Each structure stands twice: as C-alpha cells, then as structure tokens.
Amino acid sequence: VQLQASGGGLVQAGGSLGLSCAASGRTFSRYNMGWFRQAPGKEREFVARISSNGARTYYADFVKGRFTISRDNAKNTGYLQMNSLKPEDTAVYYCAADVGWGTREGNYDYWGQGTLVTVSS
C-alpha cells in the first residue's frame, strides 16, 4: 500500500491542525494505521495507532486528550486531528500501515513521506 501524508503547516501554540493520510494500491481496510513523528535532532517516535476497522485506538501519553486518530476506509484515508498544539509538537509527521499491531517503527512495513508541522510559541 502507498501512503501520502498531507495537512502539515505552521500554527500557533494552542491551535489545531488536521493531518490526512491517503492510501492507494492495496485494500486500505486490511491494514492497521499509525502516526509517528520526528522532531529535529531526535529519533522518530510513536504518536497514535488505529485498528483496521477503526474500533481500537491507542495514543502515546504525551498526546492523550489532545490528538485524535481516525480513519474512513470508504475514502482510503486516515486522519490525525491535533488540538491544543504545543511548540514541542513541532516535527515531521509520518503515517504508516501494517497488518500487525504495534508502536515501534519496525512494526510497520509501509510509510508515507511525512508532513511538517511547526508550532510557534
């Protein structure tokens, strides 16, 4: 499956931004989906994941209550709604997909190209 993330941009602290992840090539509904991020000078880290049918979600502690992951299998698209953004949320955000269920980079075989989110203070 091919993934393309979009929706990044510049936002002020406390603001909101919505990311999308468009899938093509294979049946998107077969895959669990995750979002990761990589801040400058840091390793890529897990943000959130959602099961293939959207019934289960899981979040990193630092985004709980602020970010919401969702998906629309009819549109072959996944989403990450980010609210109450903080400067430390600044990073390149990546969507990923796999038939497995995990929070590590190695759990995901398919990756989008990343979209930059910059949160100004």
Long-range contacts: 85-89, Cβ < 8 Å, 24+?
Answer: 85/11, 85/12, 85/13, 85/14, 85/15, 85/16, 85/17, 85/117, 85/119, 86/13, 86/119, 87/13, 87/119, 87/120, 87/121, 88/39, 88/119, 89/37, 89/117, 89/119
- Produce one character per residue of 41-73: b if its CB has 16 or more CB atoms within 10 Å, e if not: eeebebbbbbebeeeeeebbeebeeebbbebeb
Segment among 30-34, 52-56, 99-103 with least mean pLDDT: 99-103
* pLDDT at site 120: 97
In percent, the amount of the chain with pLDDT more than 70 equals: 100
25 pLDDT more than 90: no
Q: What is the pLDDT of residue 33?
A: 96
13: confidence class by pLDDT, cuts 50, 70, 90:
very high
Average pLDDT for 30-49: 96
Residue-wise pLDDT for 62-112, tens only, equals 999 999 999 999 999 999 999 999 999 999 999 999 998 888 998 999 999
5 has pLDDT over 90 = yes
